[in-house]
């Protein structure tokens, strides 16, 4: 083989390798999915979040409405001046396990005193949008305070009693749930 044919063979092999190597390299590369997003004018990357179907979310939520009434009968054993108001506070708390959200409703009123007894009625109307309302629980609690929340003084001396009333299932819509508290302060 002479120099010219050797040079031609080497040049042909070089050209063949130069043209096919990138094509072979492209075939061996794998597709690696990226994160959908865009770069802003400052070069910051912003992730594009998938669209949320609001109708699907709305269909999953059921709104439970009703009223919770807590009737208090309080025996006054502490030294509380007859001029001090006594407040009755009731709370209803729901932790919606389907959405990991929580709701708390609270209402308070001043008690009516007659000698060593006080009575009050706390009413809590509610409207709760819940994902798992059929299995959620409502925690009912109360607080009695003397002097009450409605006293303009410095609030001392203070007597407070806070307790749990019950854990109940979320009531059916349109119902009134009545609880009774008999307490001593």
Instruction: Give the model confidence (pLDDT) of 72-98 as tens digits.
Output: 999 999 888 888 889 999 999 999 988
Kindly report, residue by residue over 133-170, the tens digit of the pLDDT.
989 999 999 999 987 665 555 556 677 888 888 899 99
Contact indicator for 124, 71 with CB cutoff of 8 Å:
no
Domain boundaries, given as residue ranges, for the chain:
62-184
Neighbours of 168 (CB within 10 A): 14
Q: How far apart are CA 147 and CA 153, in angstroms?
A: 8
Name the fold adopted by 62-184: Immunoglobulin-like (2.60.40)
- Cα angle at 169 between 168 and 175, to 5 degrees? 95
**Is the per-residue pLDDT at 9 higher than 60?**
no
**104 vs 48: which has the higher pLDDT:** 104
Token readout for 119 is: 């009575």
Global pTM value: 0.64
**Is the per-residue pLDDT at 31 higher than 60?**
no
Contact indicator for 109, 121 with CB cutoff of 8 Å:
yes
Q: Which residue has the tokens 């070089």?
A: 14
């Amino acid at each position: 083989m002479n120099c010219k044919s050797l040079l031609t063979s080497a040049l042909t092999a070089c050209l063949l390798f130069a043209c096919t190597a990138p094509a072979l390299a492209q075939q061996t590369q794998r597709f690696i999915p990226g994160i959908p997003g865009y770069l802003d004018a400052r070069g910051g990357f912003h992730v594009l979040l998938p669209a949320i179907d609001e109708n699907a979310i709305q269909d999953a939520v059921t709104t439970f409405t009703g009223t919770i009434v807590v009737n208090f009968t309080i025996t006054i054993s502490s030294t509380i001046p007859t001029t001090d108001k006594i407040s009755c506070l009731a709370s209803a708390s729901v932790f919606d396990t389907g959405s990991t959200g929580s709701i708390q409703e609270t209402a308070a009123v001043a008690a009516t005193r007659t000698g060593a007894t006080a009575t009050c009625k706390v009413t809590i109307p509610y409207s709760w949008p819940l994902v798992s309302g059929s299995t959620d629980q409502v925690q009912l609690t109360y607080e009695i305070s003397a002097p009450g929340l409605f006293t303009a003084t410095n609030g001392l001396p203070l007597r407070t009693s806070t307790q749990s009333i019950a854990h109940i299932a979320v009531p059916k819509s349109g119902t009134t749930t009545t609880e009774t508290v008999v307490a001593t302060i």
